[in-house]
Structure 1
Amino acid sequence: MDKLDQKLLKLLQKNSRMSISDLSKELALSRPSVSERLHRLQEKGVIEEFTARVSLPAVGRDILLIIQVSGLKVSPQEFESMVKQKEDIIECHRVTGDVSYFLKVAVANMERMRILIDSLMPYGTINTSTVLASPVPYRYTLPQDFSE
């Protein structure tokens, strides 16, 4: 991946709706060259998908939680299958250490939070933290050696 690919990634992470023409101007490349680079980055799996980042409070999910699950009472496969079905769980990470999983959860209210926590309790020990603020809510990701 060269510096132009890295700059392309940075531009797309800032605004994935940038047109090929706008990307072409920013990168000082022809539109076919930009299209080819985009296609190659997708084929290599560097660009996984194009998506919209949605404001959780704007869609009525005002409470953000981090839930730690430890002492798992079922197989990881069974637990992971279950969490994939829970729409309030927006991220699930299996980790090393004393905790088995970290879940990022967005719920509309305390009742939804209670229902979700109650549904998780049979699977292991649950420790819930409410997010008060997110000083780094999202960060653009580039290769470690990229500097600009």
Structure 2
Amino acid sequence: MDEIDIKMLKILQKNARITISELSKELALSRPSVTERIHRLQERGIIEEFSARISLPAVGREILLIIQVSGLKVSPQEFENIIKQKQDIIECHRVTGDVSYFLKAAVTGMNRMRLLIDSLMPYGTINTSTVLTSPVSYRYILPEVDDIE
């Protein structure tokens, strides 16, 4: 990747709906060149998809949870299949250490939180934390550049 690709990634992460024309103006490149670069970044797996970030509170999911699962009572594959079916869980990470999984969930209220926690209890030891604030809720991802401090 060169500096133009990096600048393109930054622009696209800020606004994935930017038109090719607008992007070509920002980058001072022709539209075909911009299109070719986007396709190349997609083919290389650098751009995985284009999507919209949704405000959880705006869609009624006021409570954000971090759930730690340890002492797993089923196989990891079985647990992951169960987790994939739970719509309140928005991220699942299998990790090393004493905790087997970190889950991120967004629920509509205390009753929904209780139901989610109760549904997870048969599969291991559950430790739930409620997120109070998120000082870094999202960060644009760019390749590391050695000379940036």
The TM-score with structure 2 as length reference comes to 0.97
Coordinate RMSD, CA, aligned: 1.2
Distance 1:37 1:130 in 2: 41
Matched position secondary structure for 2:69? strand
Partner Cα distance (1:84, 1:144) in 2: 32
Deviation at 1:11, TM superposition (A): 0.3
1:140 deviates by 0.1
Offset at residue 79 of structure 1 (A): 0.4
Q: How far off is 1:49 after superposition?
A: 0.4
Q: Which whole-Å CA distance do the structure 1 matches of 2:89 and 2:63 have between them?
A: 12
One-letter identity of the residue aligned with 2:131: V
User: For residue 76 of structure 1, what is the amino acid of its counterpart?
Assistant: P
**CA-CA distance at 1:30 after TM superposition:** 0.2
State the distance in 2 between where 1:88 and 1:21 align. Answer: 38
Distance 1:59 1:88 in 2: 12
The Cα of 1:87 is off from its aligned counterpart by: 0.2
Which residue number in structure 2 is paired with residue 118 of structure 1? 118
| Structure 1 residue 103 displacement after superposition | 0.3
CA distance in 2, matches of 1:9, 1:120: 38
Q: How far did residue 71 of structure 1 move?
A: 0.5
How far apart are residue 134 of structure 1 and its match? 0.3
Mapped to 1, the partners of 2:123 and 2:91 lie a distance apart of: 17
Count of residue pairs the alignment pairs up: 148
Identity rate, percent: 78
Please tell me the residue identity of whatever aligns with 2:71.
G
Deviation of 1:144 (Å): 0.9
Cα offset, 1:64, TM superposition: 0.2
- Secondary structure of residue in 2 paired with 1:137: coil
Deviations 1:43-64 (A, max 9, x none): 1110000000000000000000
Deviation beyond 2 Å, 4+ runs, structure 1: none
**C-alpha distance in 2, partners of 1:41/1:81?**
31
| Structure 1: 5+ residue stretches without partners | none
DSSP 3-state at the match of 2:102: strand
> Offset of 1:38 from its aligned partner?
0.3
In structure 2, the residue corresponding to 1:105 is in which secondary structure?
Answer: strand
